Structure 1
Amino acid sequence: MNTVRRVSYVFLCIFPFLSFVVFGVRAFRIPGVYQAVGVAYFAAIAIAAWTLGARAIRADAQDRRLLGLAGTLLVTSFAPVALLWVGIGGPWQATAAENEMRYLVLIVMAAAIASGFVVLREALSGAGERFYATLGFAAIILSGPLYLIWNIFAFAAFFGKEHAGEMPAAIVSLRDMMDLLLFVAGFLTYLATAAFAASLGRVQWLGRGAARAFMIV
């Protein structure tokens, strides 16, 4: 792995942890500043993803192309987040309009991640690993729709708050059920991630240490 590819790999690995600061600190939400940081962050992700995935997508072997496509879907699903979420803070800090945007982005993100895992399952099956890949596939097929439902309800809640001054009573009454829905979706997503990490380790597309790290985290 050359230096550029290594730097791209390290950047994408630390991106989720770096994002806690970039997205979570409300002080960054300064007009003109957060847009510029978002564009730079978005460009960095796009360049890193292309650096790592372009060769695989253009490969002759179908399993390599599928692997490259899966990686592109999984990584670039975070690109809208990087572009739009700089300094957004938690839902209790953001405005109703910002929260509408938050959950629209999460809807797109959930669809892209589910699609990426489906493509990854096809690549792993082609490489001969079906047990863990099928387990991960089953988990993500269940969790994806749950996330979409939860995010749609969350978007509707803040849409109502922005336009009517308060969240719709019907949605508020479902809060406990929606919390349970989010918990189940999160559990299934972590199960899918662990299963796919184990599957990637079995076909040696992921090192043993990296596979264990993904399974633990």
Structure 2
Amino acid sequence: MAKPIERRASFLILCLSPILGLIVGGLGAAGLDAVKFWVAAGVVFVILLSAWILGAREALSGDETRQPPAIAGGLLALVWSSTAIFAAMGPPDQATLAENLVRYPILMLDALCIGIALVAVCRAIQDTGERVFSPLALGSIVTATPLYFIFLTVQLVLYREMARDPSAVRPVWLGTIDDVALILFFFGAVLTYVSTAALAAAMGRAGWLRPSHRRVYVGLCLFALIGVGARILESLSSPKASLWGFDQPYALPGFVLMIPAVPWIMPCLLGFVLLRRAAAHAPE
């Protein structure tokens, strides 16, 4: 059984792990390709070890009260750890073809982990008697996960086609499928933010999340939805002229919020809360 000070230290490490990700990204930007993936592997190990100490071990406890939050928190920590790998690779347009062929299977696994984790939490919260927001969170993530998976599958197929013949011209029909998949991803991202906001509200009503923290989570998700809405309007407007007057895609409102892994950040942070809850109900 981990001591309280060990759990607090693990929680702090998980919350500060984005700094480690920035270090990994800096190594890649500096051209230290031989080092960045070793450092990324170390960051992944630290994150998973911290999650295990914080409360993921309670998934093996056999206690039906502690197992759901521990399993969900462990899956969300696994998703969180993959950000170190993405930081080492860099953005898709700057990564190598081989790196992108690895990136999308990892993202597909992450999408499944997010879906399974949030379904497990929603069902556990429903058992406490919360019947308002948990069904909304459940329905949203159940719909969002296949939309994400379709988009990521199409991206993987595109990169596999590039790997077969880098000089070949992409068929028109493949570009059309890519556009359809992108639209599905937009709605998947929106539903992920909706699910996160509803889950935070449900956790607050069930006593799993402090009221102040619940308001912060819901507020951030609503803000993200506004940014995502602006990004969707831009993407569905005229392809020849920017709706908002920006020439570079990075300057578009909501661009960062629509990076595939970004909508998963807040569910992962809720995962750390779930791990703490699982450990808090463990016998000393």
TM-score computed with the length of structure 2 as normaliser? 0.69
How far apart in 2 are the matches of 1:10 and 1:38? 19
**What CA distance in whole angstroms lies between the structure 2 residues aligned with 1:128 and 1:163?**
53
SS at match of 1:32: helix
Q: Could you say which residue in structure 2 is the equivalent of 1:91?
A: 92
- 1:188 corresponds to: 191
Q: Cα deviations across residues 13-67 of structure 1 (Å, max 9, x unaligned)?
A: 3445764664487415623311221121111111111112246435564122111
Distance across 2 between alignment mates of 1:25 and 1:85: 12
Which residue of the partner structure matches residue 165 of structure 2? Answer: 164
1:4 aligned to which of 3, 6, 13: 6
Q: What are the Cα deviations for residues 142-201 of structure 1, in whole angstroms up to 9, with x where unaligned?
A: 000000000000001011112111474232233332221111010000000111111111
* Two-structure CA RMSD over aligned residues (Å): 2.3
> Structure 2: which 5+ residue stretches go unaligned?
221-284
Q: Greater CA deviation, 28-37 or 131-140?
A: 28-37
Q: CA 1:37–1:92 in structure 2 vs 1: closer, same or farther (change >3 Å)?
A: same
CA–CA distance in structure 1, aligned partners of residues 62 and 88 of structure 2: 42
Cα contact 2:86–2:103 (8 A) shared by 1: yes
CA contact (8 A) 1:127 1:203 kept: yes
Instruction: Look up the equivalent residue of 2:180 and give its one-letter code.
Output: M
Indicate if the aligned counterparts of 2:112 and 2:145 stay in contact, CA closer than 8 A. yes
In structure 2, C-alpha distance between the alignment counterparts of 1:28 and 1:125, rounded to whole Å: 49
Native 8 Å contact 1:64 1:123 kept in 2: no
Match of 1:113 in 2: 114
CA distance 1:167–1:11, shift in 2 (3 Å):
farther
Specify the code of the residue in structure 2 equivalent to 1:164: D
CA contact (8 A) 1:97 1:159 kept: no
Distance change >3 Å, CA 3–CA 124, structure 1 → 2: same
Q: 1:40 to 1:197 in 2, by over 3 A?
A: same
SS at match of 2:55: helix
Task: Kindly provide the amino acid, as one letter, of the partner of residue 5 in structure 2.
Answer: T
Q: Does 1:42 align with 2:44?
A: yes
Alignment of 1:1-217 (within 5 A): 2-15=4-17, 19=21, 22-23=24-25, 26-27=28-29, 30-54=32-56, 56-59=58-61, 61-82=63-84, 84-165=85-166, 166=168, 168-169=170-171, 170-217=173-220
**Unaligned 5+ residue runs, structure 1?**
none
Partner of 1:134: helix, strand, or coil?
helix
The 8 Å contact of residues 37 and 86 in structure 1, kept in 2 or not, is answered as no
Change (3 A) 1:21 1:32: closer
Percent identity of equivalent pairs: 30
| TM-score calculated relative to the size of structure 1 | 0.88
3-state SS in 2 of match to 1:206: coil
Pair 1:176–1:119, CA change in 2 (3 A):
same
- TM superposition shift of 1:135: 0.5
* SS of 1:174 mapped into structure 2: helix
Flag the structure with more relative contact order, 1 or 2, with Cα contacts below 8 A and sequence separation at least 6: 2
Kindly tell me the number of residue pairs found equivalent between the two proteins.
216
Counterpart residue identity of residue 186, structure 1: A
Contact 2:92 / 2:100 at 8 angstroms: preserved in 1? yes
